[in-house]
């Protein structure tokens, strides 16, 4: 997971954080790195993953970042799961979630960690505790060691001394700190020559691209075997819902089609076939109509209207009033208005009930408040009690990391149209062994699958080294049991194929 809705069109985000990160406004003196005692806990356990029984060591520890003066600046907490006996020839995969401001709890306790939290698989609310914390046979530990990273301001990670969070809150600043943590972990664990994978979800895919640039963009590089992009957002312009910008209506339309079909507002033999029809309509007749703007004729408008209604499940009258351009927020509210329900943003399988049925936008995202409590309880229970990590820090599942610096290297135009996709294209062209895995849910409006396809099919990407997989769920496809198993199998095969 995830990221937050910001005011700028370039920074489409995935959720609204519900709590700010606690900060002490009193000035604190700097701390020498040699005087800072890093917190850690470790335990050797056993489990069965991918059908293989094995022992592993779970280690939660602070990775201390320091400046060139030897002062400790921040402690970034990693949760590492390493197979025993240790083998440097095994792959190691570094994973993080998104936000920005989201801890790694979602991928760790939902998909790939050795333990997972059990919440309803069929798009129902997770209710109240206790939440079962189960062994996770779908963990990837049988094929790769795992290191989950919580950037500054997320999880238990925090600044030290007089350091401000803003020093780490930005596309490039965040990526540099994560790259530094990866290098330090490789140093400590003797893993420089291991096969290496990098994986992120949601804004974590943005982070992954920026971290790739930090790791491989210079001569003292850390070469990667692969990058895992789960619910991808690389090109922020491709999904921006800004007045005058038409591309966002094109890239979200196939997600609307899949959702309309799921809720019985459209009919087709299969979601795959219907989505492909929607892709071709969106990139063809619909794109041509939108790009003509007010120069489109009445005849062209009349030809597009019934086709758009077929794919979106919305009435022609509503589409006409919306000028054949439906924002995601209006879609969530309108699709099931006749049933008194809204659909989710992160996962449109989920439905919610608003205060009333008259508004233009939903009160909240039912696909987020339907899962958050279980994950928060599980990560705290597992780290504090299961592994024995003792800390006074609060685990930040989703917090405020503001202000976030969205600028990346380049001129004015680069920052006006924010895309980190070229980082990945460059890395692939300069590293013939690097491949990309892309996992997308049909019902994800936070990072629509067609926008991901758009970003990764621009010039400069070797298409034969990009693998796409799709899931019958949304942004966090692993909340659905069948898709968690499929995602695990797909990535396991991707790693083995190196």
Alpha-carbon gap, residue 261 to 213, rounded angstroms: 39
* pLDDT number for residue 18: 38
Answer whether 262's CB lies under 8 Å from 271's CB: yes
* All domains of the chain in start order, with CATH: 9-237+371-496 (3.40.50.1820), 253-367 (no CATH)
Q: For the whole model, what pTM was predicted?
A: 0.93
- 50 alpha-carbon distance from chain centroid: 24
CA dihedral 63, 68, 74, 76 (to 10 degrees): -30
- What is the distance between the alpha carbons of residues 456 and 234, in angstroms, rounded to a whole number? 8
Whether cis (ω within 30° of 0) applies to the bond prior to 100 is yes
102's CB contacts (< 8 A; 6+ apart) are: 1, 2, 3, 154, 202, 203, 204, 397, 398
Give dist(CA 140, CA 146) in Å, integer.
8
Band of residue 123 on the pLDDT scale cut at 50, 70, 90? low
pLDDT at 77 > cutoff 70? yes
Higher pLDDT, 399 or 181: 181
CB 487 within 8 A of CB 111: yes
Q: For CA atoms 182, 184, 187, 188, give the dihedral sign.
A: negative
pLDDT at 12 over 60: no
Question: What is the rounded CA–CA span in Å between residue 451 and residue 238?
Answer: 6
From 6-15, 287-296, 378-387, 404-413, the region with the lowest mean pLDDT: 6-15
**What tokens appear for 386 in the block?**
């299961």
Cβ(157)–Cβ(75) below 8 Å: yes
- 10, pLDDT greater than 50: no
Q: What is the dihedral of CA 145, 147, 148, 153, to 10 degrees?
A: 180
Res 22: pLDDT: 42
* pLDDT 10s digits, 229-249: 999 999 999 988 888 899 999
pLDDT score at 7: 32
At residue 368, does pLDDT exceed 80?
no
| Cis ω before 2 (30° cut-off from 0) | yes
Tell me the C-alpha to C-alpha distance, in Å, between residue 270 and each of 8, 156, 262, 277: 36, 44, 10, 11
The whole-angstrom separation of Cα 420 and Cα 418 is 7
pLDDT of residue 340: 97
């Amino acid at each position: 997971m995830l990221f937050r809705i910001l005011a700028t069109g370039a920074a489409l985000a995935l959720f609204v954080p519900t709590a700010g990160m606690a900060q002490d406004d009193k000035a604190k003196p700097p701390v020498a790195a040699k005087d800072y005692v890093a917190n850690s806990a470790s335990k050797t356990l056993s489990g069965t993953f991918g059908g293989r029984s094995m022992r592993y060591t779970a280690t939660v520890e602070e990775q201390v970042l320091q400046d060139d003066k030897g002062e400790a600046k921040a402690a970034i907490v990693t949760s590492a799961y390493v197979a025993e006996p240790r083998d440097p020839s095994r792959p190691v995969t570094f994973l993080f979630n998104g936000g920005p401001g989201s801890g790694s709890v979602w991928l760790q306790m939902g998909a790939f960690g050795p333990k997972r939290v059990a919440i309803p698989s069929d798009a129902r609310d997770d209710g109240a505790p206790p939440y079962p914390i189960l062994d996770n046979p779908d963990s990837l530990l049988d094929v790769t060691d795992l290191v989950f990273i919580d950037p500054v301001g997320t999880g238990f990670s925090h600044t030290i001394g007089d350091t401000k969070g803003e020093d780490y809150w930005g596309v490039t600043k965040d990526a540099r700190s994560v790259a530094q943590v990866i290098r330090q972990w490789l140093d400590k664990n003797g893993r420089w020559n291991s096969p290496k994978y990098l994986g992120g979800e949601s804004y974590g895919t943005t982070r992954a691209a920026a971290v790739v640039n930090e790791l491989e963009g210079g001569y003292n590089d850390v070469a990667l075997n692969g990058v895992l992009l789960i619910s991808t957002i690389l090109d922020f312009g491709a999904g921006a819902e800004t007045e005058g910008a038409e591309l966002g209506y094109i890239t979200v339309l196939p997600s609307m089609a899949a959702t309309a079909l799921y809720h019985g507002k459209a009919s087709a033999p299969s979601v795959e076939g219907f989505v492909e029809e929607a892709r071709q309509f969106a990139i063809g007749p619909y794109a041509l109509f939108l790009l003509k703007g007010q120069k489109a004729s009445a005849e062209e408008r009349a030809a597009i209207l019934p086709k758009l209604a077929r794919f979106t499940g919305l009435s022609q009258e509503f589409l006409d009033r919306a000028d054949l351009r439906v924002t995601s927020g209006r879609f969530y509210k309108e699709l099931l208005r006749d049933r008194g329900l809204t659909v989710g943003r992160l996962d449109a399988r989920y439905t919610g009930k608003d205060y009333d049925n008259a508004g233009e936008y939903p009160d909240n995202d039912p696909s987020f408040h339907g899962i958050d409590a279980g994950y928060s309880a599980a990560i705290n229970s597992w780290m504090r009690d299961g592994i024995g990590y003792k800390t006074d820090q609060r685990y930040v599942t989703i917090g405020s990391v503001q202000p976030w610096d969205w600028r990346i290297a380049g001129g004015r135009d680069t920052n006006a149209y924010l895309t980190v996709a070229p980082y990945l294209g460059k890395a692939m062209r300069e590293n013939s062994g690097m491949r990309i895995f892309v996992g997308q849910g049909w019902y994800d409006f936070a990072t629509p699958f067609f926008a991901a396809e758009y970003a990764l099919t621009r010039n400069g990407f070797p298409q034969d080294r990009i693998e796409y997989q799709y899931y019958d769920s949304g942004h966090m496809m692993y909340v659905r049991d069948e898709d968690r198993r499929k995602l695990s199998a797909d990535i396991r095969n991707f790693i083995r194929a190196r």
